[in-house]
Structure 1
Amino acid sequence: MKFFVLNRPCIGVQLSIYNTTFCLAQWSDIFVLDPRYEKAVTRAIIKILNQLSRRSEGVCFIDVGAHIGRYAILVAKLVRKGFVIAVEPEPNNFRALVCSIRSNKLKNVIAYRVAAHDVSGEMLRLYGHGAASSVAIQWGDRQCLVESVSLDDLLKDLPNYVKLSRHKLIMKIDVEGNELNVIKGAIKTLTNYRPIIICEILSRKNLEYVAKYLRNFEYKMQSLDDRNYLIYPQELEQVKPWWTRLK
C-alpha cells in the first residue's frame, strides 16, 4: 500500500493487485478489488476476450458505471487491439478512476464523467456514493447533479482515431437500477454493432423489463450469478455455442 499526495484525485491511497495499481475513492471501495468479488463476471469477461483474441478481433470494452475502474483497468491491460470507454458520473469515483488510468500509464482508456441514460443533456440527481451511487434509487440523503448522455450519442462523438466498425463491442453495465434506461439509450448501438453485454440487474421487476425490451432486438439472456446476466445477440448461438457456456 502506498500513500501519495495529488490534487484530490481520490482519498490518497493506492493499492497494487493483479500487477495493477488502483486508486480508491473511499476506504470501503477496497471490497471490489477482492478476487472473490463478482467472480463469475470476471471469468465471463476474460473468456470472451480470450475467444476474440484467438479470432484476432479488436475489442471495444464499454464500462458503464465504471466506479474506480476494476474492470476498465484490467481489460485495458489485457486487450492488445482496441480500447476501453469508461463511463462514471460520481465525482469521487471518477477522480479515482482517472488516477488509476494515469498510475498504470494506460493510453487506451477514454473516461467520461456522465450518467448513461436514455436521453442526453439532462441534469439528473445522483444519490449515494461509492459503488452504490444511482440516478434511479435514492440511497440516503447524499446527492449531486450529473449530466446524462445516451450511449448512442456518446459513441457517435468519440475521437476520430476510434473506429467502432473495426472492433467487437463488449458492454458491462452496472448502474444500480437504471439499466433499462441505459439500454434504451443504446438502440442504434444494439442494432448496428450487436455488442455482447454483461449487466447487473438488482430486481426481478427490472429483469422482466430488460428481457422483454431486448427480445425486440433478438437478444438472449443467461444468468452468471444471482444478479449479473450475460446478454448476447441470438445469432451467436449458431456461430459459437460457447457463448452460452460462460459460467
Structure 2
Amino acid sequence: MIEKIVFNLIDPVRFFLPNKHFLVKYYGGKIYLNLRESRMMMKRPLGMYEPEKTRLFYRLVRPGMTVIDVGVNKGYFTLLSAKLMGCKGKILAFEPEPSNCYWIRKSIEANKYDCIKLFELALADYEGEAMLYIGKKSGWHSLLPTGGNVKDETIRVKVSTLDNVLKKEKIERVNIVKIDVEGAEMEVLKGAKNLLQKSERLFIIMDLHPQKGVKVEDVFSYLYQHGFKIYSVKDLRPVEGRYKMKDIVAVKGEVRFS
C-alpha cells in the first residue's frame, strides 16, 4: 500500500520528461527506457515492475542455464537473467518489432552482456512471415489484431518456431522459457512442441492475454498434455482451474522454486 502511494506521487514526474529514451539503472543493470511512455516504464527503474515475476526469476535463474525470452519488449527480463547468471550461460531473446530491438541492442552493449543472442523474429507454430500489429505502447505489439491496444498500423516480420531455432542453434537443453506475446501464447507453445516433449525439467513463465483471444483453458490443457503442472506466479500455488490467472509458471519435472 505504501509503495503504491509513493509511486502515485512519483509517477506524474514522467510527464515533464523529454519523450526520449534514457539509460537508467535497475536490477538487471542498465536499460534504455522511454520513461514518459507509460506507468509500466516508470516502474522498472523504481523496482516496482512485476514484483512477483521478478522474485521468481531471482529464485530460478542460475549460472550455466539456458533461458529463452519470447516477447522481449525493452529487455527487462532478458537483462535481469544475464545479471543473475553472471552472464555464464545462454540467453536467446526474441522480439519482432525493429524499434524495440534497436534499444535492446543498445542496452546489451551498455552492460557488455555477451551471453545474450537477440533475434529480430516473432515465434509461432510455422515458418514464414506475418503482419505484426503495432501497439499503442511498445509492449502491446501483437501478431493478432484483437483487443483495443493496437494502432491502424502493421509491419511485415519474419516468423519461426522455437523448435527450429533451437535446432539451428544446436541447443539441446533449456531451463527457463518466458513468454509474453500479447495473445499468441498457443502458437508459441505449439511451435515448441519438441522442447515440451523431450524436456525432463523445464519452467515456462507466461503472461496470458484472454482479452486478445487466447483461450486459457486450451493453454492449460496443452501444458497438462505435455506433463506440466501449473502454478500462479503471484502465490506459487496450483491454479486448480483458476482460469482467470494472468501470470502462470508451468513446471515439468521436480517442482522446486529455488
Query: The TM-score by the shorter chain falls in which range?
Result: 0.7 to 0.9
1:60 alignment partner in structure 2 = 66
The alpha-carbon deviation at position 25 of structure 1 amounts to: 5.9
Q: Does 1:22 align with 2:31?
A: yes
The one-character-per-residue Cα deviations of 1:69-128 (angstroms, maximum 9, x if unpaired) are 101011112214311111001111111111100111111000000111011113333332
In structure 1, distance between residues paired with 2:193 and 2:159: 16
After TM superposition, the structure 1 stretch with the greater mean CA deviation from structure 2, 40-49 or 19-28, is 19-28
Partners of 1:19 and 1:186 in 2: CA distance? 27
Q: Point out where structure 1 has 5 or more consecutive residues left out of the alignment.
A: 1-9
Equivalent residues, number: 219
Give the alignment of 1:54-203 within 5 angstroms.
Answer: 58-80=64-86, 81-128=88-135, 129-138=137-146, 139-158=150-169, 164-165=171-172, 168-194=174-200, 195-203=202-210
Query: Partner residue of 1:228?
Result: 247
**Does the 8 Å CA contact 1:26/1:130 hold for their aligned counterparts?**
no
Q: For 2:250 and 2:92, how far apart are their aligned partners in 1?
A: 19
**Distance of 1:11 and 1:70 partners within structure 2:** 18
RMSD: 2.3
Distance 2:36 2:98 in 1: 16
| Runs (5+) with no aligned partner, structure 2 | 1-18, 235-244
Identity %: 28
CA offsets per residue over residues 3-41 of structure 1, 9 Å max, x none? xxxxxxx94521122372111367416235142211111
Shift of 1:168: 4.5
Matched, 1:31 2:42: yes
- Partner in structure 2 of residue 7 of structure 1: none
8 Å CA contact retained: 1:25, 1:96:
no
Aligned-residue offset at 1:180: 0.5
Q: Which runs of 4+ in 1 moved over 6 A?
A: none
Q: Are residues 1:48 and 2:55 paired?
A: no
Is the 1:220–1:232 Cα contact (8 Å) retained in structure 2? yes
State the TM-score, normalizing by the size of structure 2.
0.77
CA apart distance, 1:143: 1.9
Specify the code of the residue in structure 1 equivalent to 2:142: S
TM-score (norm: length of structure 1): 0.81
CA distance in 2, matches of 1:61, 1:115: 17
